[in-house]
Amino acid sequence: MTSVHVDTVKRDGTERSADIDLRMPTCRGVDIEGLSIPQLQQCLESRKFSVYDLTACYLERIRRINGVLKAVIEINPDALDIAARMDCERNQGKHHGPLHGIPFLVKDTMSTKDKMQTTAGSSVLRGTVVPEDAHVVYLLRRAGAVLLGHANLSEWASMRSTYYSEGYSSRGGQCRNPYNLAEHPGGSSCGSAVAVASNMCAFSLGTETDGSIMMPADRNGIVGIKPTVGLTNGKGVIPESRSLDSVGTFGRTVLDAAIALDGIVDSSAIPPCTCKSPIIWPQWEWE
């Protein structure tokens, strides 16, 4: 399928009809649809395209299809500037690792110290700009990853109401499954999963208290990793439960999700609920 016809009703009651182009734009002539993080790194290292080119390609992908899927709640206006800086660092021999220059999205419960709002999808928090990155966001920035924006979610991470439409937020609208627009995308980290499944980013972050990573990963045919509580640091993430919340990752492959997880694992910040539990910190090497 290369296009889809969509009929929508605007707030003023008028109808709007449009054909949406689903084709993934090439990046400097390279078909990046479905490429893994290591494959993207190979393209960057061989200079088939730059981090700036790759980021621009994902932003164009979001522009083309997000009106239908509602996976992204806000675009980072500084994304291309960050990408250009990552290119400069790469050219200077400063390579931060397997996530250097790789574009990603975060669930809208994760604070970001920039021009974007952090709202948990709620209109109540519209306009909230925070002074500090969530710790996982800080770690990914330090690893050289490029933050594209905030992903939509089930409002308040499914805590808005007992009865609601899965994947809906008042700020982001109804997130939709890219494989079947009539099927729900799973929640609460729906936008993070849909964005990866539809090639709007290379990987993304979500949170889980009870199924909010596993369900959308399953519904959208991708890989989600819900780590043991305490393996990742929830500082700066709007919480549900201090003893059950985990920040996890989404990728198109197990390797992608694991590489992303490796970027946010932090052995220096174990929360009190797990401080007495033995945790074996993984020592992975990526080929």
What is the residue extent of each domain of the chain? Answer: 33-268
pLDDT at 115: 96
Q: Give percent of the chain with pLDDT exceeding 70.
A: 84
Q: Which residues carry out catalysis? A: 107, 188, 212
33-268: CATH superfamily: Amidase signature (AS) domain (3.90.1300.10)
Q: What is the pLDDT of residues 57-78, one digit of tens each?
A: 999 999 999 999 999 999 999 9
pLDDT at 273: 55
Q: Is the pLDDT at 2 greater than 60, yes or no?
A: no
For 5, phi then psi, to 5°, come to -95, 130
Q: How confident is the model at residue 120 (pLDDT cuts 50, 70, 90)?
A: very high
Greater pLDDT, 159 or 198: 198
Select from 109, 66, 105, 60 the least CA-distant residue to 241: 109
Q: How confident is the model at residue 240 (pLDDT cuts 50, 70, 90)?
A: confident
Supply the mean pLDDT for the chain.
Answer: 89
pLDDT at 170: 94
pLDDT at 7: 54
Q: Is the pLDDT at 47 greater than 70, yes or no?
A: yes
